[in-house]
């Protein structure tokens, strides 16, 4: 058995009470100003004040001592929503948006998501893998030790499976834990422009069973939006995914309030994501149903839209998580520190709430809270050392990364 003692650190962590942290509990952070954490075989076995941890270790041999030099220690970030498996950037489209064209209008003209679909169709598994790995490793250097990656730029069985195979290969290569999500209903392909229902039939009868049979994704997602998929189409697809044992989630109420949040509540989704336009009543429905709100402030930033109403959600006991949405269109960043900074400065979230959102609650909305998302004994030793005194440094030292060291299973990976 190998043992490692991290000491001389200012520890900040949410505490896992067996469910996502909602309401006041979202700001419940355990803090040890002079803390220590014992790792045995890559798992956390003790955490506490340094003096208490040392006392409890009397007569025990510790293989390695790591002096954290008073840095702040937090759990590794869990990024619960990314589209980082793509073939090419869309910088010219960014310029079009700066010139005033709306994101959904670009999609309507065959650009946006559909231009990434063209790129993925031409790419090999190997090319997708290499590109995706580059983004995953960038995220790792910024403190993301677990992440979700979606398909959704294939839109047919062959290319969706190609993406999921590339994501699977990334998962086997990177030190991070990767959760794959099937997003075959991300946009309506040109050939089905006038008949999206038939496309949803194809997703349900052909793509979804193939994905499930091959075991390449554990979650299923859909983009419900004006001009993309309706709530009824979402209900049809996600019910079928649930029957196959998959966890379900929804790109909900991103631009228009279609009622995606209510559908997430109705289906008992693991999360509803975006929610920039979600209404009060549906926020309450989600809270009652125990759905986590995955908020993506870098998307609001890049689309120049009002931010999701995190304050309203937390005050109504809806657990809030934070994600990058890393994709070549609406939010091109791998940086959880950037997202946390936006949440603290533009969404009225406290540093404590944002920390819980980026670790524990995002672990719940990705189905991995049993092994990560907090520094509780029994979980993986996935942790970060920040150049700063507290998690507030993530917002305070803007535009750079205060993440000084990244440990996965207790091993230094950055």
Binding-site ranges for ligand NIG (CB under 6 A): 83, 112-113, 116, 223, 251, 254, 299, 325, 327-331
Distances (CA, A) of 220 to 207, 256, 290: 11, 21, 18
Contact 405, 386 (CB under 8 A): no
| HSE-up of residue 201 (Cα within 13 Å, Cβ side) | 5
Could you tell me which stretch among 62-70, 113-121, 322-330, 394-402 binds Fe ion (CB under 5 A)? 322-330
| C-alpha to C-alpha distance for 49 and 69, rounded to whole angstroms | 15
Least distance (Å) from ligand NIG to the CB of residue 301?
12
**Residue 74 contact partner, candidates Fe ion, ligand NIG, none, CB within 5 to 8 A by sort of partner:** none
Could you tell me which stretch among 89-97, 156-164, 317-325, 390-398 binds Fe ion (CB under 5 A)? 317-325
Could you tell me which stretch among 85-93, 323-331, 373-381, 384-392 binds Fe ion (CB under 5 A)? 323-331
Of 50 and 325, which has the nearer Cβ to Fe ion? 325
Helices (H), 57-112: 91-98, 103-108
CA angle 113, 283, 22 (to 5 degrees): 105
| C-alpha to C-alpha distance for 369 and 361, rounded to whole angstroms | 8
Of 305 and 317, which has the nearer Cβ to ligand NIG? 305
- Closest residue to bound ligand NIG by CB: 329
Least distance (Å) from Fe ion to the CB of residue 370?
25
Of 26 and 299, which has the nearer Cβ to ligand NIG? 299
Of 44 and 269, which has the nearer Cβ to ligand NIG? 269
Of 72 and 224, which has the nearer Cβ to Fe ion? 224
Size of the site for Fe ion (CB under 5 A): 1
**Residue 233 contact partner, candidates ligand NIG, Fe ion, none, CB within 5 to 8 A by sort of partner:** none
For the purposes of burial, counting CB atoms within 10 Å of the CB of 364, is it exposed (0-12), middle (13-18) or buried (19 or more)?
Answer: buried
The CB density around residue 289, as the number of other CB atoms within 10 Å, is 17
Sign of CA pseudo-dihedral 390, 20, 149, 260: negative
Of 228 and 392, which has the nearer Cβ to ligand NIG? 228
Least distance (Å) from ligand NIG to the CB of residue 198?
21
Helices (H), 255-368: 260-267, 280-289, 297-303, 310-315, 336-346, 351-358, 360-364
**Residue 113 contact partner, candidates Fe ion, ligand NIG, none, CB within 5 to 8 A by sort of partner:** ligand NIG
Chain residues binding Fe ion by CB under 5 A are: 325
């Amino acid at each position: 058995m190998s043992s490692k003692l991290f000491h001389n650190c200012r520890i900040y962590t949410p505490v896992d009470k067996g469910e996502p942290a909602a309401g006041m509990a979202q700001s419940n952070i355990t803090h040890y100003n002079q803390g220590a954490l014992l790792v045995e075989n890559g798992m956390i076995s003790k955490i506490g004040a340094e003096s208490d941890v040392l006392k409890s270790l009397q007569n025990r041999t510790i293989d390695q001592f790591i002096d954290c030099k008073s840095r702040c220690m937090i759990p590794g970030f869990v990024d619960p929503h990314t589209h980082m498996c793509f073939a090419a950037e869309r910088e010219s489209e960014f310029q079009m948006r700066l010139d005033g064209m709306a994101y959904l209008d670009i999609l309507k003209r065959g650009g946006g998501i559909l231009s990434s679909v063209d790129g993925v169709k031409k790419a090999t598994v190997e090319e997708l893998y290499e590109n995706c790995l580059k983004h995953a490793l960038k995220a790792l250097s910024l403190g993301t030790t677990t992440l979700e990656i979606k398909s959704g730029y294939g839109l047919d069985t062959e290319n969706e499976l190609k993406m999921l195979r590339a994501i699977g290969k990334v998962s086997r290569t990177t030190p991070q834990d990767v959760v794959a999500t099937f997003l075959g209903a991300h946009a309506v392909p040109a050939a089905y422009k006038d008949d999206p229902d038939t496309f949803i039939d194809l997703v349900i009868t052909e793509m979804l069973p193939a994905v499930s049979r091959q075991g390449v994704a554990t979650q299923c997602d859909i983009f419900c939006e004006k001009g993309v998929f309706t709530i009824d189409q979402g209900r049809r697809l996600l019910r079928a995914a649930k029957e196959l044992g998959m966890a379900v989630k929804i790109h909900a109420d991103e631009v228009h309030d279609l009622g995606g949040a209510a559908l997430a509540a109705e289906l008992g989704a693991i999360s509803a994501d975006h929610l920039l336009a979600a209404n009060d009543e549906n926020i309450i429905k989600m809270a009652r149903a125990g759905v986590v709100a995955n908020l993506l402030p870098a998307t609001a930033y890049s689309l120049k839209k009002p931010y999701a109403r995190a304050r309203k959600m937390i005050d109504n006991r809806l657990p809030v998580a934070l994600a990058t949405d890393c994709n070549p269109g609406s939010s091109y960043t791998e940086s959880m520190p950037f997202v946390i900074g936006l949440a603290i400065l533009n969404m009225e979230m406290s540093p404590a709430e944002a920390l819980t959102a980026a670790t524990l609650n995002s672990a719940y909305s990705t189905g991995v809270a049993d092994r990560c998302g907090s520094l509780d004994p029994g979980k993986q030793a996935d942790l970060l050392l920040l150049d700063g005194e507290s998690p507030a440094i993530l917002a305070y030292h803007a535009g750079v990364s205060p993440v000084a060291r990244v440990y996965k299973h207790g091993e230094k990976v950055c």
